[in-house]
Amino acid sequence: MIPNFRFMANSEKHSITLQVNGHPYQLELLPWVSLLDALRENISLTGTKKGCDHGQCGACTVLIDGKRKLSCLTLAVMQEDVAITTIEGIAAEGNLHPLQQAFIDKDAFQCGYCTPGQICSAIGLLNENKANTREEVQDLMSGNLCRCGANKGIINAVMAVKQSISHE
Amino acid sequence: MNNFSFTKALDMDTAISLTSGNDHNKLIAGGTNIIDLLKYFITEADTLVDINSIPGISKIAENETGGIRIGALVTNADTAYHAIIEEKYPLLSKAILAGASAQIRNMATNGGNLLQRTRCYYFYDIHTPCNKREPGSGCSAIQGYNRIHAILGHSESCIAVFPSDMCVALSVLDAVVHISGPEEERNVAFSDFHRLPGDTPESDNNLKRGELITAIDLPEKGFSKYYSYLKLRDRASYSFALVSVATGLDLENGLIKEARIALGGVSPKPWRVKEAEDFLKGKEPKIANFEATAQMILKGAKGFEHNRFKIELAKKAIVRNCMMALDPTSQRAGAKPSL
Ligand SMILES: Cc1cc2nc3c(=O)[nH]c(=O)nc-3n(C[C@H](O)[C@H](O)[C@H](O)COP(=O)(O)OP(=O)(O)OC[C@H]3O[C@@H](n4cnc5c(N)ncnc54)[C@H](O)[C@@H]3O)c2cc1C
Ligand code: SF4
Ligand code: FES
Ligand code: FES
């Protein structure tokens, strides 16, 4: 049941341009469309997943100007003039991103539903460079839930890429 | 979400005039709370006013009195990881980093953090009575499942807690909230910003219609030597506090010169008891003294069917956290217990 909600007869579509994975997308959107829905429904980039739609699972994580954020808790109309990167945009020229490869090597997923969010979150974590120990990586990856319980493999994958970067 | 219109306020005056003229025009900053509330129809908007382009309120800088001013639009993450905050106000960093998730902290703003609403399950379920959401409809939690609810400061009309971690540290730091509005600008001491429910639980704080938080001032004293934040919850991370404690200590010749202790997760606003803090002055920083303080802080606590455990838990958390404050290097990611 939906309650007697306020109805604004004059809600108008906004003409906006989103920069996603380096491409501009011109869209006509109602103001309440979340960035997540715009990516999935309007741009057909369905790699970004909707788990809870309320900020509680991390499945919808994308990178905005390099920072990990939840696309379900922001509106598309608020995200013009920023660089949005989704899971579809992280691999360079046909090669897997090192984290994608590490997720395969370290058995870091089962059903795969949380994986795009996990990988985008892990890229954000590496950009931030605030996690030094395994415990800190676990804490700073805790915004991404995995119902399959692949967490150990996920942390192993992140640690492997983290170590390979610090050895470069 | 209800159908609303959307506009970007390019300056403070526009935002203030839009919200002072219509109670259903709502500000949006990071969006992490208001979008959730809109999705559940707990909040409804005529116009959503995006304040992210307002200039001048998104920086961290020294203020006129030797302290630091943190802008309302600075994100929780940028605040926690800011060099000055890490160095002079590490308690604030720790408390922020114990809240929500990395993604949410990258979005959430400091102003929004002060104004986040309770996580009471009945407040979130629009099909149940709730005095905070719908004044006069009753409180479902008092006789219901009240595990996450208050043991201090509650009233017969509402027993919800204020869920912020950041604000527990701001309380200890005696922060000051800077407010602009349709009338004159004003500054409010942190302890006067949030309010107890009484018989009007619908207002969580003393912000008036049309007012906007512009900044939060931190006085010079940051307790950077002896401090600790401890957060106890049902999971190790990414969940709200059942009980949290922020402690700042000042020691001189091995004795306590000043102690400040605030509780989170147990009351409608961060909870401090002056007499309990004063009691510690001149005393040795040892368990027996902290136990006596804990008794004083929890004086008058009243639990309900499912949350009585919080009274003992809070006492133990206070003692533990005061001991942790003596060696801040022991602290663990996510404000877990150490020592
Ligand atoms: C899953 C989840 C878990 C969380 N866990 C925690 C936790 O463990 N600990 C914790 O402390 N928090 C937690 N949070 C809450 C989070 O910290 C808040 O949602 C966030 O701080 C709100 O900031 P915002 O900028 O996103 O606010 P918004 O959602 O944009 O706004 C919140 C409210 O503040 C008003 N507002 C915003 N800025 C201003 C301003 N400058 N002046 C006047 N009004 C303003 C808005 O109108 C709105 O009413 C969690 C949130 C989620 C979704
Ligand atoms: S505790 Fe407060 S918020 Fe929860 S149901 Fe009762 S009145 Fe509503
Ligand atoms: S879908 Fe966004 S956090 Fe779950
Ligand atoms: S792999 Fe299935 S939810 Fe994580």
Indicate which CATH number applies to the domain containing A105: 1.10.150.120
Which chain A residue is nearest to residue B78, measuring alpha carbons? Answer: A128
Residues paired with residue A43 on neighbouring β-strands, in sequence order? none
Protein residues with CB under 6 Å of any ligand 4 atom? A 109-115, 146-148, 150
Is residue B11 left, alpha or beta, with left meaning phi > 0 and alpha meaning psi from -120 to 50? beta
Segment (H or E) for A19: strand A14-20
Count of structural domains, chain A: 2
* Count helices and strands in chain A by DSSP H and E runs: 5, 5
**Per-residue pLDDT at A1:** 44
Specify the CATH class of B226-329 in words. alpha beta
Shared domain check, A159 and A107? yes
Shared domain check, A139 and A83? no
In Å, what is the CA distance from B276 to each residue of B262, B268, B316? 11, 19, 15
3-state secondary structure of B96: helix
CATH number at residue A82: 3.10.20.30
**Per-residue pLDDT at A8:** 56
Does residue A8 form part of some domain?
no
Instruction: Determine the atom of ligand 4 nearest the C-alpha atom of A112.
Output: 1
pLDDT exceeds cutoff 80 at A7: no
CATH for the stretch B60-115+164-218: 3.30.465.10
Among candidates B122, B336, B339, which has minimal Cα distance to B239? B336
**Per-residue pLDDT at A152:** 97
Q: Which CATH architecture has domain B1-50?
A: 2-Layer Sandwich (3.30)
Shared domain check, A68 and A42? yes
**Per-residue pLDDT at A11:** 75
Instruction: List every span in chain B annotated with CATH 3.30.43.10.
Output: 1-50
**Per-residue pLDDT at B331:** 87
Tell the burial category of B63 from Cβ atoms under 10 Å away from its Cβ (0-12, 13-18, 19+). middle
Q: Residue with structure tokens 């090192």?
A: A98
**Per-residue pLDDT at A4:** 57
**Per-residue pLDDT at B82:** 98
**CA B257 to centroid of ligand 1, rounded, Å:** 35
Q: What is the pLDDT along chain B (339 residues), one digit of tens a residue?
A: 999 999 999 999 999 999 999 999 999 999 999 999 999 999 999 999 999 999 999 999 999 999 999 999 999 999 999 999 999 999 999 999 999 999 999 999 999 999 999 999 999 999 999 999 999 999 999 999 999 999 999 999 999 999 999 999 999 999 999 999 999 999 999 999 999 999 999 999 999 999 999 999 999 999 999 999 999 999 989 999 999 999 999 999 999 999 999 999 999 999 999 999 999 999 999 999 999 999 999 999 999 999 999 999 999 999 999 999 999 998 888 899 887
Give dist(CA A20, CA A120) in Å, integer: 14
Pocket flag, ligand 3, residue A124 (CB < 6 Å): no
Instruction: Determine the atom of ligand 2 nearest the C-alpha atom of B157.
Output: 7
End residue of a domain, out of A42, A68, A89: A89
Does residue A136 form part of some domain?
yes
**CA A144 to centroid of ligand 4, rounded, Å:** 10
Does residue A5 form part of some domain?
no
Mean pLDDT of A139-159: 97
Instruction: List every span in chain B annotated with CATH 3.30.465.10.
Output: 60-115+164-218
Point out the least confidently predicted range of A5-19, A96-110, B76-90, B254-268: A5-19
Strand ranges across the sheet with A67-70: A23-29, A14-20, A83-85, A61-64, A67-70
Instruction: List every span in chain B annotated with CATH 3.30.390.50.
Output: 226-329
Pocket flag, ligand 3, residue A51 (CB < 6 Å): yes
**Per-residue pLDDT at B236:** 87
ipTM above 0.85, yes or no: yes
Domain of A105? 98-166
End residue of a domain, out of A54, A89, A124: A89
Protein residues with CB under 6 Å of any ligand 1 atom? A 55-56; B 26-34, 36, 72, 76, 99-100, 104, 107-109, 111-113, 115-116, 163-166, 212-213, 240
How many alpha carbons lie under 13 Å from residue B72 in its C-beta half-sphere?
A: 25
Strand ranges across the sheet with B60-62: B60-62, B68-71, B212-218, B176-180, B186-189
**CA B199 to centroid of ligand 2, rounded, Å:** 12
End residue of a domain, out of A56, A89, A122: A89
